[in-house]
């Protein structure tokens, strides 16, 4: 086996074999039990080279605040779809721990490349909530400037964002920057060719990318068992010569710890890593989906008992970190964001028909200029006719 020098250094630091470094732990990393109690250190699924310290109380409290806001965002956006204010919304209800941890593990100069289901992660990263939802309103553009917060536009085509993420990481390495790129995808994306191309390129060129797979058990209506027979999606990393890890995707404590280490290793030059988070999409794929056609209520309820919000609330309450006043303040923060979404997405957008022609080519073609002039003439005559009628 050819082992890159960077990976050899990482292995030496942990004092383990290259196989133990690359292979995920048996089972998964879990720090908080499903009932919200802290698991003993020897029961967290860790192994040599795969130990994860518990984040600080300050980090955990902020993560919980973000969970509260994220849950309110999901509920509010689902309501806005029913009201006709949004065209579609892929809810991440039940996956908020993944969303929050993904954003909090990065520095300001790092990049995030999200999927269509990662609106909560995008907002946690600092993107304006209304701008983050503009795409789902049916506008022609993504809604926000990717360079403002180093967040790629939410990708609707499956897996294309992974190639973009690898490209940014490659550029950062060529420039000598310390940028780490977090490339987000779902379990369905691992069945796409772009997934292979992105991981293979990142591994060959030892790029600072963390591939974060939110395994919510279904690629729309296709269960994971019909997508792969690998022991886990994290095991796919080994085939590319990178390290893989499995983590409880409803345990925000474990997610923060695992993703923080992955980002730290990538920044230190260890090359790309793959993290699989086992979670569940509690609601339908989108408002256009009928999830009852491919999964049963008993399965949904079993996962409801693993809710990341309730788990974290129980733990913080037991430690005394979460008081009634603090929880009330967090709920107020969440309601402020919900109100911002309601007001921003209820306002009628200012439409300019000439935008149809402005961003097609850098230099408009003669045909486009002709069409734009024709439309401008039509708009002028309509405006004059309106004045005459008044």
Residues belonging to the active site: 281, 285, 294
User: How far apart (Å, rounded) are the C-alpha atoms in residues 274 and 301?
Assistant: 29
Orientation of helix 160-175 relative to helix 193-204, angle to 10°:
10
Give Dmax over CA atoms of the chain in angstroms.
84
Residue 187 CB neighbours (<10 A): 22
Query: Which of 285, 271, 277 minimizes the C-alpha distance to 240?
Result: 271
188 Cβ neighbours under 8 A, 6+ residues apart: 158, 218, 219, 220, 222, 227
Cα 311 to Cα 59, 105, 216, 265, 305: the distances in Å are 16, 20, 18, 28, 9
User: Is the distance from CB of 104 to CB of 257 less than 8 angstroms?
Assistant: no
Supply 384's token pair: 């004059």
DSSP string, 88-101: -----TT-HHHHHH
**Distance from the Cα of residue 224 to its chain's centroid:** 19
DSSP state of 182: E
User: Is the distance from CB of 120 to CB of 101 less than 8 angstroms?
Assistant: no
Count Cβ neighbours within 10 Å for each residue of 276-311 and write b for 16 or more, e otherwise: bbbbbbbbbbbbebebeeebeeeebeebeebbbbbb
Residue 167's SS3 state is helix
347 Cβ neighbours under 8 A, 6+ residues apart: none
């Amino acid at each position: 086996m050819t082992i890159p020098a960077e990976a050899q250094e990482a292995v030496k630091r942990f004092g383990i074999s290259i196989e133990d470094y690359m292979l995920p732990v048996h089972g998964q990393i879990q720090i908080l039990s499903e009932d919200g109690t802290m698991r003993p250190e020897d029961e967290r699924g860790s192994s040599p080279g795969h130990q994860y310290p518990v984040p600080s109380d300050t980090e955990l409290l902020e993560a919980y605040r973000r969970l509260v806001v994220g849950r309110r965002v999901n509920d509010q956006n689902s309501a806005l779809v029913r009201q006709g204010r949004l065209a579609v919304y892929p809810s991440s209800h039940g996956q908020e721990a993944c969303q929050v941890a993904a954003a909090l593990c990065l520095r300001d100069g790092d990049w995030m490349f999200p999927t269509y289901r990662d609106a909560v992660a995008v907002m946690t990263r600092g993107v304006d909530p209304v701008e983050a939802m503009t795409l789902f309103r049916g506008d022609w553009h993504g809604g926000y400037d990717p360079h403002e917060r180093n967040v790629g536009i939410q990708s609707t085509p499956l897996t294309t964002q992974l190639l973009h993420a690898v490209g940014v990481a490659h550029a950062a390495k060529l420039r000598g920057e310390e940028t780490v790129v977090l490339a987000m995808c779902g379990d369905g994306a691992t069945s796409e060719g772009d997934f292979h191309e992105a991981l293979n390129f990142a591994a060959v060129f030892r790029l600072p990318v963390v591939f974060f797979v939110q395994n919510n058990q279904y690629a729309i209506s296709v269960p994971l068992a019909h997508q792969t027979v690998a022991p886990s999606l994290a095991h796919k990393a080994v085939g590319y010569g990178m390290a893989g890890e499995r983590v409880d995707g409803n345990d925000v404590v474990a997610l923060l710890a695992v993703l923080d280490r992955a980002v730290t290793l990538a920044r230190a030059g260890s090359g790309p890593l793959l993290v699989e988070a086992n979670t569940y999409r509690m609601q339908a794929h989108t408002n256009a989906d009928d999830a009852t056609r491919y999964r049963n209520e008993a399965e949904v309820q079993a996962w409801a008992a693993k809710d990341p919000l309730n788990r974290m609330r129980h733990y913080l309450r037991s430690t005394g970190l979460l008081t009634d006043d603090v929880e009330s303040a967090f709920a107020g923060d969440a309601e402020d964001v919900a109100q911002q979404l309601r007001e921003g997405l209820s306002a009628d957008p200012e439409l300019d028909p000439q935008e149809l022609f402005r961003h097609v080519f850098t230099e408009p073609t003669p045909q486009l200029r002709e069409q734009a002039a024709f439309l401008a003439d039509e708009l002028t005559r309509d405006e004059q006719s309106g004045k005459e009628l008044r």
